[in-house]
Structure 1
Amino acid sequence: MQKKNSDAVSPRHGIARVLSKQGLASRTQAAGWVREGRVSVNGRVVRDPEFPVRQGVDTIRVAGETVAVVERRVLMLNKPRGLVTSAKDEQGRDTVYRCFDGAGLPWIAPVGRLDKASEGLLLFCNDPAWAATITDPERGPDKTYHVQVDRIPDAGTIAALQVDVDIDGVRMSAKSVRLLRSGEKNAWLEIVLDEGRNRQIRRLLAAFDISVLRLIRVAIGPLVLGDLAKGQWRELGGEEIAALSVSL
């Protein structure tokens, strides 16, 4: 009976998943460690990434070092235009990790993405489970963007952008759109999204024959980019992380 209660408190999960949730590596990287024989459970080397373990009960070692719970760390980067949001790029292009060169950081992964031509606020975290709550299309916090476009949209167009449009079989709209400022031939819009589809703003504007000149993410929920310089990063404090979680 006691064993059943212990198992209930500590459910079994695959070893690669556990290592990932510990914030040590991505699930793919952790699976690679397991297959290479670098991981042991209770003193025995395992090579199956799905080998079941109980976090907090079984003793897990990687390369001989006991795995301890890693403190959650969240960083924000002001992503420059031209960098790919990826750890590695098959085409050899510069990635966002260039901005962390020499920082001596533990494993961190992007929380969501900004495409190569986009700029602004990009989060990184070593906790995949927490990151998934931020990127969840239904429960995640709103994302706010400042977008320079190649013409000056009238009030009717701005209103239409906030109504579902069928784009390649997918219904898309912005939560809110407002005109920030305009010049003779172009304008800046503030666009808020409450979901995160691939290239959503660019695809939505293209449906109205509007081209994007610049796209900058300036906020995720209550967290604002502020005056963080382009290409620079900083670590979030506990209150900022808590505020993001509360906004879900």
Structure 2
Amino acid sequence: MTSKRAPRFGLARVMSKRGLCSRTQAAALITEGRVLLDGRRIEDPEHPTDLENAKIRIEGQAETSAEKRYIALNKPRGLVTTTKDEQGRDTVYSCFEGADLPWLAPVGRLDKASEGLLLFSNDPTWAAKITAPDTGPSKTYHVQVDCIPDIDMIVKLMQGVELDGEFLSASSVIVLREGSKNAWLEIVLDEGRNRQIRRLLAAFDIAVLRLIRIAIGELSLGELAKGEWRALTPAEVKSLA
């Protein structure tokens, strides 16, 4: 009887799955000749690799595998959610400068003008559960808009609209407070679509002045200061996925 073989994937993909770095970063490191697989230098990102048992070392790094990490950041406005921006804009990774962290990927996105709770992890399976459009946890936002929506408008936002082949809606909309010309809304989404709130409001000629994500599922932003981050507790990690 033959034993079951461990799954094999391209080396770059295995490095990404283990949380060593992104797949793109792994491919670059491999082609530069900086990756040793079971003691042998490999320069082909697609080299078949044992997902579970292969010993991988990146020259200049002591560890061959990364401990799973789960981080919450209070993203400031004006930072882009990317590892490296082609236009030279500041990225969310500037908030981690000087921290002794392994490579972490953003779990979902907040656009440059948005702020608030943003998660990072090197656990792609966990991240995929959170970002799944139809089954991931709900997201709660505080949104300042350039008008004072009446009850009819709130109903329309919850009923939704077809836009660019997608149906966009909010599961809950509550007016938090009103000014003379604008208002703050609490909007809850139970699905994840690209720039969903901005696109939904724009469909009704409502402009967003500020957008802050204050919670993902049961995890709230709390008292985390702008630009600061913290590790999630095991209970928080479990509650999200």
Q: TM-score, normalised by structure 1?
A: 0.91
Q: Given the superposition, is the C-alpha separation of residues 42 and 229 from structure 1 closer, same or farther in structure 2, using an over 3 Å criterion?
A: closer
Q: Secondary structure at the match of 1:6?
A: coil
Matching residue within 65, 68, 73 for 1:72? 68
Task: Give the corresponding residue for 1:82.
Answer: 78
Contact 1:60 1:66 in 2 (8 A): no
Q: In 2 relative to 1, CA 43–101 (structure 1 residues): closer, same or farther, beyond 3 Å?
A: closer
2:87 pairs, out of 86, 91, 100, with: 91
Instruction: Answer yes or no: is 1:6 the counterpart of 2:4.
Output: yes
Stretches of structure 1 lacking an aligned partner (at least 5 in a row): none
CA deviations on 1:165-192 (whole Å, 9 max, x unpaired) are 1223322111211111112211111111
1:57-113 Cα distance to aligned partner (Å, 9 max, x none): 333332287864422111111111111111211221111111112112221121111
Counterpart check, 1:161 vs 2:157: yes
What is the CA–CA distance in structure 2 between the aligned matches of 1:87 and 1:61, rounded to whole Å?
22
Alignment of 1:1-248 (within 5 A): 1-2=1-2, 5-7=3-5, 10-63=6-59, 68-245=64-241
CA distance in structure 1 between the aligned counterparts of 2:87 and 2:57, rounded to whole angstroms? 35
State the Cα deviation string for residues 16-43 of structure 1 (Å, max 9, x = none). Answer: 1111111110011111111122223333
Contact 2:68 2:122 in 1 (8 A): yes
Greater displacement, 144-153 / 176-185: 176-185
> What secondary structure, in the 3-state scheme, does the structure 2 residue paired with 1:161 have?
helix
CA distance in 2 between counterparts of 1:79 and 1:37 reads 35
2:205 and 2:149 map into 1 onto residues whose CA distance is 10
Q: What one-letter code is carried by the residue in structure 2 that aligns with 1:128?
A: P
Read off the aligned partner of 1:17 and give its amino acid letter: R
CA shift for structure 1 position 135: 0.9
Q: Percent identity?
A: 64
How much does 1:163 deviate?
A: 1.5
Amino acid at match of 2:4: S
* Displacement after TM superposition at 1:243 (Å): 1.1
Q: Indicate the larger mover: 207-216 or 194-203.
A: 194-203
Amino acid of the residue matched to residue 213 of structure 2? R
Structure 2: gaps (5+ residues): none
One-letter code of the match for 2:131?
A: T
Aligned residues: 241
Which segment is superposed worse, 203-212 or 177-186?
A: 177-186
Distance change in 2, residues 1:155/1:6 (3 Å): same
Report the AA paired with residue 178 of structure 1: I
Q: TM-score, normalised by structure 2?
A: 0.94
